[in-house]
Structure 1
Amino acid sequence: MGADNSEVDETGADVIVIGAGPGGICTAIQLRQAGIDDVLVLERSAGVGGTWFNNRYPGLTCDVSTDLYSFSFFLDHEWVRPFATRAEIVEYMEAAVDRFGIRDTIRLDTHVVSARWDDADGRWTLDDSRGGRWSARVLVGAVGMFNEFVRPPVPGLDTFAGPVTHTAEWPDGDLGFLAGKRVSVIGTAASATQVVPTIAPHTGHLTVFQRTSNWVFPKDHGPYTEEQRRARREDPSVVEAGRSTAARELDELFADLDNEAKTAEQTAIALANLEAVQDPATREALRPTARLGAQRPLLSSQFYEAFNRADVTLVTSSIAEVTPTAVRTADGVEHPSEHIVLATGYLAHKFLSVVDVVGRDGVALRDQWADGAYAYLGMTVENFPNLFMLYGPNTNGGSIIDKLETQTRYIVGKTVYLLKNGVHALEVRPEVVAAFNERLQADIGAVAAWQAEGSRYYRAPTGRVVTQCPYTVVEYDRMTRRDDLDAYLATPGGRP
């Protein structure tokens, strides 16, 4: 655990990072290794790990191979299985914090609610939810995409007599509270594919309400054998080979979404997974109808099998309303329920605007992003000097850990330049941001799958695709390695 800020005298630093998830941890490590020691990481939760610490719903595991969900500089961690559970990932992040000596930089239970740029001082002032005030020359937003969860606007939901639990608010403890209960799960996307098969054996009856069927690919849930664990421990090349294989498979899943031959191959894999459903009508109802790639691809070899249970029912009629004791669908059927689980995801389009960030001349980030979030290289935006973002707009795709390492390297480079050269303010030029995003949106527009009906997950309310990156991990890394100081306006006068 990090330090409790209630006993901390420090209120400022050269660099403040918001968020102690994988991105924030990687940033703090790389800053230290670059010789920048005056760093604080402010984390709203009681532990490190970001979304992995905050989410505790049953069955939560990573959809990316843990070989690829590991920092390239910390590969000797002994993972239990190819796709790690939530607890294993939190353990890994804790281990990284200790191995690389950054625990002293972290302030837990510190929820930053606002950040304001002072042009005269060349500093950011941050306020937290407990009245604390912090100051930094450089601000790094490492809050990612998954901060505000979606509570669906279902009529009558607030009148339901039983518990309503969003997967993002799942309580600690065992599943005894579901024993014998009629439970309704609303949603069949990422969290549902993990929750449904995990809780089904513990409920009296489970009813799953589906709005849109999804593409679900098979996934290896089993742990490594003792022989495999010994080989991985004793021979580093085994892990390196696993990373290479995982990267190739991930590229094959996400790349060339408009390539008919590759799409046909991936379609066959997903539909073969669907064959696990024994009832023909249920199987047909679960068959994806959206174009492959228009939705976030999901991984599970257990989700479909859950619908073979006699005590699990799939409902595809739309929800009309919730009564105190049931979920009523548009076909007039009432589905009795004693507990509702909302597997309805996050507002993935908000990024750093979940914090009230105000830049030069009083410009609010959420206002500047009114038509949809954007940034230069997904990391910085005009009117917000000395501000960088991790996992920002249009950076989703491939291994997020690889992306975070690329972004951290870039951000640390700019931070070193700013701090070591007496730069008061470093701000990306508006014309550079505009040109980059014009090209980016054109490249996104060329991916027909992301324009297809059903691609809601990728979009801001205006319809702009704000999550996806049209470039491979290697291409994106190459883009961030060129000397681009001419993309910035550097105002001298900062303390060297």
Structure 2
Amino acid sequence: MSSAQPSVIIIGAGFGGLAMALQLQRSGFDRFTILEKGESVGGVWRENTYPGAGCDIPSPLYSFSYEPNPVWPKRFSMQPDILQYLKDVSGKRGVTPKIRFGTEVTSAEFDAGAAHWRVYTADGVEHHADVLVNAVGQLSRPAMPNIPGVESFAGASFHSAEWDHSVDLTGKRVAVIGTGASAIQLVPAIQPDVEQLTLFQRSAAWVVPKPDVEYKPWHHAMFRMVPPTRLFERFAIWGFCEMMSLGLVDVPAIRPLVARAATHHLHKQVTDPALREALTPDYAPGCKRALFSNDYFPALAQPNAAVITESIAEITPTGVRTADGTVHEADVIVYSTGFKTNEFLAPMTIVGTDGAALADEWRGGARAYLGMTVPKFPNMFVMYGPNTNLGVGSIVYMLESQARYIAELVKELAERPGTYIDVKADVEERFDAEIQRRLGKSVWTLCSSWYRDAAGRIPNNWPGTVTSYRRRTRKPDLGDFAIHSKHEHRGALR
């Protein structure tokens, strides 16, 4: 395309940022730059290197539809394989040279007079682009628990997302705080090597069997030579996820089926009545994401493992003291306590038209039309933004939908040089009201989880199937947007 095509800055080189870059390429746009604070692509798959790290969505679906990988080692791939896939795709498609690594964005401000964004990075450089796409995700900033005495611990301690590989856990007493997706994976990985593993559990997880398969050379040959076999597996996984997602909002009758499968799995793998009771969830299935594992329960049933359900009172120099006064001695503490999921785009400072600060606009909870566009922040889009997370299914499918939608709007800007688009406030408000009404009927209202903010609002999840989201985002309705000229600050052209 001509040099008149809009320039685009993408923040982040994880799945979201790469999805956006690849879609821009597919749409004929090459004036884009990715600003990435890390030293390689990958996002969460670069940062999370804890033992046992992997994905709980099968790789045939957790990959770009237009960039299949017929040689995945397993159905549920591990972190190194997913990271290598992203590196390979980025290199093969020629995206890597367009990435500025080691470049952290600190702030961005929209210049209405020039109809472009000024983006500032930590190295003091100012970048300009017509379009700004934020692809930093919802799981990029580890959350440490607010427990007294965290800094007093004399041994090694770290968050699972910031694993310290210099610490040898062999023969050590290791305390793991938290029972989310990372704990489900790292506990079985480290349990055989440590002297004592003590897991501090606030709430038990719904854990179902993991239908994993190690792909053999004949699988790889079949997937490569007979693509319909690969597509069939992807479609089957997609269909199962779509069916299960219905149970989160519209078909609650599905939830008991999950509970039954998880309970059977627990009873089959754990025979000790006390441990079985401790590992039995006390909330509705689906309220927190169900987890897949075949080795989590067996690891906790070993003689060198213990599950503590008493609440934590404080961290001491020698371990963890629970509310009953017991100090559980530890040499190492691992915080498997998730991420700051409700602080979208933080800690960046984003300023739109008339000095509007995104942090102020989202003070009552993050919100965006279709999870991508925010009034007063024209020509700015968010990948994996508010209300686009999934309780079931592959976020990559959602990212592809978002990238296509954004690319269509970039096309509109290309046809109208010197203009910028701003989603109408009433359009965003109606959408948010609709989504929150549906979320009010969801299973996520039935317990406390990272899906909900302090006020009880659910800013993270999409209350439907990925099919319904794809239908909503298939093509932008220009009637949802005001189109302005850089020559007039607020007067709409249409």
TM superposition score category, shorter chain reference: over 0.9
* Distance in 1 between residues matched to 2:223 and 2:164, nearest whole Å: 34
**DSSP 3-state at the match of 2:168:** helix
Equivalent residue pairs, number: 479
Q: Which residue of 1 aligns with 2:3?
A: none
- Equivalent position to 1:277, from 270, 273, 283: 270
Matching residue of 2:255: 263
Equivalent residue in structure 1 for 2:239, among 238, 248, 252 = 248
CA shift, 1:424, in A, is 2.1
1:190 lines up with 2:181 in the alignment? yes
Question: Could you tell me how far apart the structure 2 residues matched to 1:260 and 1:128 are?
Answer: 47
**Greater CA drift, 457-466 or 153-162:** 457-466
Q: How many percent identity over aligned positions?
A: 39
> 2:82 matched to which residue of 1?
89
Q: In the alignment, which residue of structure 2 is the partner of 1:349?
A: 342
CA distance in 2, matches of 1:227, 1:481: 37
Paired residue type of 2:143:
V
Cross-structure match for 2:320 = 327
2:127 pairs with one of 125, 134, 142: 134
Q: Deviations over 1:287-332 (max 9, x none)?
A: 0111112112211111111112100111000011111002110111
For normalisation by structure 1, the TM-score amounts to 0.94
Shift of residue 77, structure 1, vs aligned partner:
4.0
State yes or no: 1:25 paired with 2:3. Answer: no
**Equivalent-residue separation in structure 2 for 1:45 and 1:105 (angstroms):** 14
Give me the whole-angstrom Cα distance separating, in 1, the residues matched to 2:64 and 2:177.
35
Q: Determine if contact 2:409/2:476 at 8 Å carries over to the other structure.
A: no
- Does the alignment pair 1:424 with 2:404? no
Contact 1:55–1:168 (CA<8 Å) still a contact in 2?
yes
Partner of 1:205: 196
User: 8 Å contact 2:112–2:486 — kept in the other structure?
Assistant: no
Q: Which residue of 1 aligns with 2:408?
A: 413
Residue number in structure 1 paired with 2:100: 107
Shift in Å, 1:443? 1.2
Whether 1:163 aligns to 2:195 is no
Given that residues 190 and 298 in structure 1 are in contact (C-alpha distance below 8 angstroms), is that contact kept between their aligned partners in structure 2?
A: yes
Query: What's the CA shift for 1:225?
Result: 2.4
In 2, the alpha carbon distance for the partners of 1:493 and 1:363 equals 18
Matched residues in 2 for 1:181 and 1:125: separation? Answer: 50
CA distance in 2, matches of 1:55, 1:246: 25
The residue aligned with 2:492 is: none
Match of 2:452 among 453, 459, 464: 459
User: Counterpart of 2:109?
Assistant: 116
Give the superposition deviation at 1:423. 4.3
Gaps of 5+ in 2: 1-5, 488-494
1:171: how far off? 2.9
Q: Does the aligned pair in 1 maintain the 2:371–2:386 contact within 8 Å?
A: yes
RMSD between aligned residues: 1.6
Out of 340-349 and 246-255, give the one that drifted further.
Answer: 246-255
Q: Scaled by the length of structure 2, what TM-score is found?
A: 0.94
Cα distance, 1:260 vs structure 2: 4.7
Q: Is the 8 A contact 2:115 2:418 kept in 1?
A: no
Q: Distance in 1 between matches of 2:313 and 2:38?
A: 36
Paired residue for 1:367?
Answer: 360
The answer as to whether partners of 2:13 and 2:41 remain within 8 angstroms in 1 is: yes
- Tell me, in whole angstroms, the C-alpha distance in 1 between the residues paired with 2:51 and 2:186: 6
Does residue 237 in structure 1 map to residue 232 in structure 2? no
In structure 1, how many angstroms separate the alpha carbons of the residues matched to 2:40 and 2:144?
Answer: 25
What secondary structure is seen at the aligned counterpart in 1 of 2:18? helix
Q: Which residue of 2 aligns with 1:217?
A: 208
1:480 and 2:455 aligned = no
> What is the aligned partner in structure 2 of residue 442 from structure 1?
437
Deviations for 1:178-207, whole angstroms, at most 9, x for unmatched residues?
Answer: 111111000011110011110111111110
What displacement does 1:131 show? Answer: 1.6
- Cα shift at 1:129: 1.5
Distance in 2 (CA, whole Å) between partners of 1:393 and 1:458 is: 11
- Asked if 1:379 corresponds to 2:359, the answer is no
Q: CA deviation at 1:483?
A: 4.5
1:222 Cα deviation after fit: 4.5
Q: Give the whole-Å Cα distance in 2 for the aligned partners of 1:438 and 1:140.
A: 24
How far apart are the structure 1 equivalents of 2:153 and 2:485? Answer: 59
